[in-house]
Structure 1
């Protein structure tokens, strides 16, 4: 099972997220659930960097991704980062709605 943890601050701002595990939906290389979650989460990290110029602190290993949300001190820029990350959450929820046996999303207020 893939476990996604979204950590939010008190105001609801996404501070970091992590993804671990493998879906087990199909054989490695054929697992559309793993591929979808990977594309959404890695794509979000890449989008934040390319579209805002801020670089998330991210670590990736086999079956594991952790990313800390960058904050550049500019509220407008931070709003763009948050919008991209909220889009990621919506995409992950869409995958979980269809493949809930293979994906679990947990949100934590820090």
Structure 2
């Protein structure tokens, strides 16, 4: 199962995505491929627009963490777009992905 944990508090934002969907065998897992594509696209977009000057992006096999204490409005919009995309995946494939939101 893919686990998504999103925390937002003022300008502090932390997003972790971990695990594998397991909806099909390796190379045929469309849930995992969709989530991976969306997350990688957001990481690349954030990096292109200077996020790494104010935050961190850690990417490993089966794990991504995006975090900053100085999120700009653009950062927040980009991450909100990702969360909407992942929520759509969860809505249709809830047995393979779980999202937890924490807003403080």
Fold-level match, TM-score > 0.5?
A: yes
TM-score bin (small chain): 0.7 to 0.9
Verify the 8 A CA contact 1:6 1:14 in the aligned structure 2.
no
Contact 2:5 2:101 in 1 (8 A): yes
- Whichever structure has more strand as a proportion of its residues is 2
Deviation digits for residues 49-77 of structure 1 (CA, Å, limit 9, x no counterpart): 21x222141112211111113637xxxxx
Root-mean-square deviation over aligned CA pairs: 1.7
1:109 deviates by 2.8
* SS at structure 2 position matched to 1:33: helix
**C-alpha distance in 1 between matches for 2:68 and 2:92:** 27
SS of equivalent to 1:26: coil
Counterpart in 1 of 2:65?
66
The residue that corresponds to 2:93 in the other structure is: 99
Distance 1:14 1:71, change over 3 A: closer
Q: Give the TM-score normalised by the residue count of structure 2.
A: 0.88
Unpaired runs of at least 5, structure 1: 73-77
Asked whether the equivalents of residues 14 and 66 of structure 2 are also in contact (C-alpha less than 8 Å), the reply is yes
Q: Which residue in 1 is equivalent to 2:46?
A: 48
Length, aligned pairs only: 102
